[in-house]
């Protein structure tokens, strides 16, 4: 499956940069948007500067678009007003606009922080009830619910990718379990876009990590087959401190703290 034009929000961020490199021009033209400028555009890419808190900007971005990858938002806000404005209101407005524009495929960047209060050693599967670890996790639970609503009611295929620890290599012992490599990230988002499925899906966004107990039927439905394993980096990890061990007992790690 290819698309005439795909909208990627939050295009200046790390995930978007990986997707741009991985997709190339194989899936269609890319309309990139962010408040920050996106440099070094390829021939198949178009950049549109936009503030997604502005409804008029969102309306224009959705013109002539076949599919959306919604990455925009902030994990760093520690107050409800900012989280609501940047994560919840923007997502709802974008999904509503996409539905009215006739867009039939939306891929949403959710997060493992919808499950942040589960113990890291627990087996994970997509049907677990949400246990968000803070305002950010709550906002992602809302985004998932909003996208599921449109999938159920408006015949949109929606995929909420619950992204784990996305980085080039695991950064600590905890991330040996929660790592999502750049190559696997590209593969998962590509499958979310092109898999011949209909309805709503919420795959866990991890690589094939030995230390993670996972049973995700969404991977099978979408055809996602991760290839990287954080265990390859185990010998490079520093011995965790007692404080890190305490903090890492929950999936959400530091974001389970009271400041979030």
The residues that are catalytic are 136
CA distances from residue 179 to 60, 234, 247 in whole angstroms, order as listed: 35, 12, 17
Encoded tokens for 59: 């309306």
Contact in structure between 223 and 190 (CB atoms under 8 Å): no
Contact in structure between 143 and 110 (CB atoms under 8 Å): yes
Encoded tokens for 254: 């530091």
Contact in structure between 164 and 216 (CB atoms under 8 Å): no
Residue 11 CB partners (closer than 8 Å, separation 6+): 20, 32, 33, 34, 38, 47, 71
Encoded tokens for 247: 């903090």
Encoded tokens for 54: 């502005």
């Amino acid at each position: 499956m290819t698309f005439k034009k795909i909208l990627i929000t939050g295009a200046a961020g790390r995930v978007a940069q990986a997707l741009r490199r991985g997709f190339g021009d194989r899936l269609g033209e890319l309309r990139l948007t962010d408040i920050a400028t996106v440099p070094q555009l390829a021939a198949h890419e178009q950049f549109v500067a936009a503030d997604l808190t502005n409804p008029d900007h969102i309306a224009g971005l959705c013109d002539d678009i076949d599919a959306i990858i919604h990455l925009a938002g902030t994990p760093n806000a520690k107050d409800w007003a900012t989280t609501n404005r940047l994560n919840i209101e923007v997502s709802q407005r974008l999904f509503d606009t996409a539905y009215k524009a006739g867009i039939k495929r939306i891929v949403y960047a959710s997060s493992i922080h919808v499950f942040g209060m589960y113990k890291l050693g627990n087996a994970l599967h997509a049907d677990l009830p949400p246990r968000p670890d803070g305002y950010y996790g709550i906002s992602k639970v809302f985004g998932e619910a909003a996208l599921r609503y449109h999938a159920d009611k408006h015949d949109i295929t929606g995929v909420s990718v619950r992204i784990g620890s996305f980085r080039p290599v695991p950064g600590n012992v905890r991330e040996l379990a929660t790592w999502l490599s750049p190559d696997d990230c590209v593969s998962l988002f590509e499958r979310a876009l092109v898999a011949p499925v209909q309805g709503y899906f919420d795959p866990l966004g991890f690589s094939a990590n030995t230390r993670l107990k996972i049973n995700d039927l969404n991977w099978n439905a979408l055809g996602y087959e991760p290839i990287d394993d954080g265990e390859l980096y185990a010998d490079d990890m520093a011995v965790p401190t007692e404080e890190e061990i305490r903090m890492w007992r929950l999936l959400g790690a530091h974001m389970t703290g009271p400041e979030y």
